[in-house]
């Protein structure tokens, strides 16, 4: 295992104690900010290193299939988490033909 993975695992285990604290000290807030910064940097670097498989445009049928899949995945997640995702779903609905039903029954 590489050094940064070992360090990330160690940091994660060390910081689990944060989840049980009702209030944080200024030092703990700073440590949480440092963790957030580390995570942001890791995700940004990973995003830059990821390349699309192909730059070829999708066919209209494939694009519609993807939009339908994405729409219903979000609907399912919203129902599972009991949260309102209308502002996320509406732009997808605007792109999908035919427009999906509002609710899963």
10 shares its domain with 42:
yes
The pLDDT value recorded for residue 4 is 47
**pTM of the full structure:** 0.46
Q: In terms of Cα–Cα distance, which of 52, 63, 47 is closest to 96? A: 63
Domain count of the chain? Answer: 2
pLDDT in tens, the chain (105 residues): 444 444 544 555 555 555 666 788 889 889 999 999 999 999 888 888 886 667 788 899 999 999 999 999 999 999 988 888 888 899 999 999 887 765 443
65 shares its domain with 45:
no
The answer to whether residue 105 is domain-embedded is: no
The pLDDT value recorded for residue 75 is 92
9 shares its domain with 42:
yes
36 torsion bin: left (phi>0), alpha (psi -120 to 50), beta (else): alpha
Quickly count helices (H) and strands (E) in the chain: 4, 0
């Amino acid at each position: 295992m590489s050094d940064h993975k070992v360090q990330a695992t160690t940091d994660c285990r060390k910081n689990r104690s944060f989840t049980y604290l009702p209030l944080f000290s200024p030092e703990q807030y700073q440590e949480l900010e440092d963790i957030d910064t580390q995570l942001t940097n890791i995700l940004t670097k990973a995003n830059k290193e990821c390349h699309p498989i192909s730059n070829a445009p999708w066919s209209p049928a494939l694009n519609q299939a993807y939009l339908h899949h994405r729409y219903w995945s979000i609907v399912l997640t919203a129902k599972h988490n009991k949260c309102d995702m209308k502002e996320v779903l509406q732009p997808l609905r605007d792109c999908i033909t035919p427009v999906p039903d509002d609710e899963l029954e």
